[in-house]
Structure 1
Amino acid sequence: MVMQLVHQHGGDLDAIERNYGIPKNEIKDFSGNINPLGFPKAAEKALAENLGIISTYPDKKYTSLRQAIAKYTGAAAEHIVVGNGSTELISTFIQTVHARQSIIVGPSYSEYEREVTLCGGAFSYFPLKEEEDFCIDLPALLNALTKDVGMLVICNPNNPTGSAFTSSQLEEILHHCKNIGASVMVDETYIEFSDNLNAICAIPLASKFDNLFVVRGTSKFFAAPGIRLGYGVSSNQNFLDRLKTNQDPWSVNSLAAFAGEKMFADTEYHTTTQKLISDQRKKAFQELSTWKNIKAFPSSANFILLKLLTDKITAAELFEILIQKKMLIRDASSFTFLNDKFLRFCILSPEDNAALLKELKLLIE
Structure 2
Amino acid sequence: MIKEIHGGNIYKFDHKIYDFSANLNPLGMPEEVKQAIISNIDKYESYPDPFQRELTAAISHFHHVKENVICCGNGAADIIFRSTLALRPKKALIVSPTFSEYQEALMASACNKINHYLLKEEKGFQIQEDIFDELDDSYDMLFICNPNNPTGIPIPKEMMLRLSMRCAQTHTYLMIDECFSEFLDDEEQYSVMDSIESLSKVIILKAFTKIYAMAGLRLGYCICSDEKTAESIKGCLQPWSVSTPASKAGKAAMELTGFIEKTKAYVKENRDYLLRGLAELGYQTYKPKANYIFFRSEEDLIGPLEKFDIMIRSCANYLTLDEHYYRIAVRTREENEYFLASLAQITKRSEGKTNG
What TM-score bracket applies, with the shorter chain setting the length?
over 0.9
Residue 44 of structure 1, CA deviation: 0.9
Instruction: Decide whether the 8 Å contact of 2:68 with 2:227 is kept in 1.
Output: no
1:123 aligns with 2:114: yes
1:193 aligns with 2:183: yes
Q: For 1:41-80, what aligned pairs fall within 5 Å after superposition?
A: 41-80=31-70
Residue 357 of structure 1, CA deviation: 1.3
Q: Take 2:40 and 2:90, find their aligned partners in 1: how far apart are those partners?
A: 47
Which whole-Å deviations, capped at 9, do the CAs of 1:25-69 have from their partners, x for residues lacking one? x00100011112221111212321221111233333323212211
Q: Alpha carbons of 1:74 and 1:198: their partners in 2 closer, same or farther (altered >3 Å)?
A: farther
Match of 1:135 among 123, 126, 130: 126
1:297 aligns with 2:280: no
Q: For 1:201-240, what aligned pairs fall within 5 Å after superposition?
A: 201-240=191-230
Instruction: Decide whether the 8 Å contact of 1:75 with 1:203 is kept in 2.
Output: no
Match of 1:10 among 7, 12, 17: 7
Q: Take 1:70 and 1:279, find their aligned partners in 2: how far apart are those partners?
A: 31
Unaligned runs of 5+ in 1: none
Match of 1:331 among 303, 314, 317: 314
Q: Take 1:225 and 1:111, find their aligned partners in 2: how far apart are those partners?
A: 16
Residue 328 of structure 1, CA deviation: 0.4
TM-score (norm 2): 0.92
Please name the residue that 2:332 is paired with: 349
> Which secondary structure does the structure 1 equivalent of 2:216 belong to?
helix
Residue 238 of structure 1, CA deviation: 2.9
Q: Take 2:40 and 2:141, find their aligned partners in 1: how far apart are those partners?
A: 42
Match of 1:362 among 345, 349, 352: 345
Unaligned runs of 5+ in 2: 349-356
Which whole-Å deviations, capped at 9, do the CAs of 1:127-158 have from their partners, x for residues lacking one? 11112221110x21111102211111001111
Residue 206 of structure 1, CA deviation: 1.9
Instruction: Decide whether the 8 Å contact of 1:333 with 1:340 is kept in 2.
Output: yes
Instruction: Decide whether the 8 Å contact of 1:191 with 1:300 is kept in 2.
Output: no
Root mean square deviation, CA, Å: 1.9
Aligned partner of 1:183: which letter?
A: Y
Residue 287 of structure 1, CA deviation: 2.9
Residue 321 of structure 1, CA deviation: 1.0
When structure 1 is superposed on structure 2, of 264-273 and 188-197 the one drifting more is 264-273
Q: Alpha carbons of 1:239 and 1:296: their partners in 2 closer, same or farther (altered >3 Å)?
A: same
Greater helix content: 1
Q: Take 2:74 and 2:178, find their aligned partners in 1: how far apart are those partners?
A: 16
Residue 244 of structure 1, CA deviation: 3.1
Q: For 1:236-275, what aligned pairs fall within 5 Å after superposition?
A: 236-275=226-265
Aligned pair count? 347
Instruction: Decide whether the 8 Å contact of 2:146 with 2:180 is kept in 1.
Output: yes
Please name the residue that 2:296 is paired with: 307
When structure 1 is superposed on structure 2, of 327-336 and 282-291 the one drifting more is 282-291
Instruction: Decide whether the 8 Å contact of 1:82 with 1:231 is kept in 2.
Output: yes
Aligned partner of 1:136: which letter?
A: I
Instruction: Decide whether the 8 Å contact of 2:37 with 2:249 is kept in 1.
Output: yes
Aligned partner of 2:11: which letter?
A: D
Instruction: Decide whether the 8 Å contact of 1:133 with 1:163 is kept in 2.
Output: no
Q: For 1:81-100, what aligned pairs fall within 5 Å after superposition?
A: 81-100=71-90
TM-score (norm 1): 0.90
> Which secondary structure does the structure 1 equivalent of 2:260 belong to?
helix
Aligned partner of 1:241: which letter?
A: E
Which whole-Å deviations, capped at 9, do the CAs of 1:202-257 have from their partners, x for residues lacking one? 22232112310001111111111121111110033332222332222221111111
Q: Take 2:47 and 2:259, find their aligned partners in 1: how far apart are those partners?
A: 28
Please name the residue that 1:165 is paired with: 155
Residue 288 of structure 1, CA deviation: 2.4
Aligned partner of 1:341: which letter?
A: H
Q: Take 1:183 and 1:45, find their aligned partners in 2: how far apart are those partners?
A: 39
Instruction: Decide whether the 8 Å contact of 1:103 with 1:124 is kept in 2.
Output: yes
> Which secondary structure does the structure 2 equivalent of 1:246 belong to?
coil
